[in-house]
Amino acid sequence: MSPLARVVDEHVGLIAVAAVGGEVDASNARELGERLHAALTNRSRALIVDLGETSYLDSAGVNLLFALDLELRERRQRLHLVVPPGSPIARVLSITALDRAVSVHETREAALESSAADDG
């Protein structure tokens, strides 16, 4: 991963969780997408992308998340985002309407609870 961003992934049952820290921009969005895809398996019910430690997200990152959401829906999987309220990332999601297209949660625990309740 580019020095601008880092990804730490884990699995909680059938839910993949990827924590993204640092900055996401055109220089690393593609590589980030590859890392997020690698966190998923065919049995994964959902992918939680925790953006709590993300300090910057440009249009390439937003486009990546929109595309990932569409792809996961086609696979009958769900994308959930963790974004602390009032963070710069929350504002970006609001401006781009990504927060209306994808499930956004204030905490990882809330995202896990919602993911576990999904029908898949």
Domain carrying residue 45: 5-117
Classify 44 as helix, strand or coil.
Answer: coil
Task: List, for residues 87-120, the tens digit of each pLDDT value.
Answer: 999 999 999 999 999 999 999 999 999 998 875 4
Number of H helices, E strands in the chain: 5, 5
Task: List, for residues 17-53, the tens digit of each pLDDT value.
Answer: 999 999 999 999 999 999 999 999 989 999 999 999 9
Number of compact structural domains in the chain: 1
Phi, psi of 102 (to 5 degrees): -125, 150
Query: Tokens for 36?
Result: 């997020």
Q: What is the CATH number of the domain that holds 20?
A: 3.30.750.24
Compute the chain's Rg from CA coordinates. 13
